[in-house]
């Protein structure tokens, strides 16, 4: 199929193809995807918002945030450490956002996979600190 070089890859189409190929169970709601990630015995929800040329991945830590002030301070401290993306609070949960910029069709799924893997690695790396920042430990 010929694709003009002037158009950007569609994030939703490319993410759906990647998830189908990987066998991951997911739910699609228009251009929003929801699925579970699991690593080292931990599970969390990931939500992706897609558009042409872009997929934004939000890894949501399951620990509820008790006191927002220490949680916001933890977000700031962790944001000084991570190379890409950033932590923030939403609906009393820690969220880590990364993005995949899709410039070329032949690399689109690789870029999405890279963003998802980085997102999962960061959440896994700071899992206990996030749980403690949420008042569970």
Please determine, for residue 137, whether its predicted confidence score (pLDDT) is greater than 50: no
Please determine, for residue 85, whether its predicted confidence score (pLDDT) is greater than 70: yes
Mean pLDDT of 97-110: 96
Q: What is the pLDDT of residues 51-65, one digit of tens each?
A: 999 999 999 999 999
Q: What is the pLDDT of residues 3-51, one digit of tens each?
A: 556 689 999 999 999 999 999 999 999 999 999 998 888 999 999 999 9
Neighbours of 28 (CB within 10 A): 15
Neighbours of 23 (CB within 10 A): 6
């Amino acid at each position: 199929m010929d694709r003009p070089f002037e158009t950007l890859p569609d994030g939703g189409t490319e993410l759906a193809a990647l998830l189908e190929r990987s066998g991951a169970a997911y739910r699609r709601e228009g251009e929003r995807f929801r699925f579970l990630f699991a690593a080292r015995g931990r599970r969390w929800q990931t939500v992706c918002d897609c558009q042409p040329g872009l997929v934004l991945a939000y890894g949501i830590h399951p620990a509820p945030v008790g006191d927002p002030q220490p949680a916001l301070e933890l977000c700031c401290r962790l944001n000084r450490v991570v190379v890409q993306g950033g932590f923030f609070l939403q609906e009393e949960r820690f969220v880590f956002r990364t993005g995949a910029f899709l410039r070329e069709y032949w690399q689109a799924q690789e870029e999405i996979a890279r963003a998802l893997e980085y997102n999962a690695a960061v959440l896994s790396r700071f899992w206990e600190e996030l749980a403690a920042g949420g008042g569970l430990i």
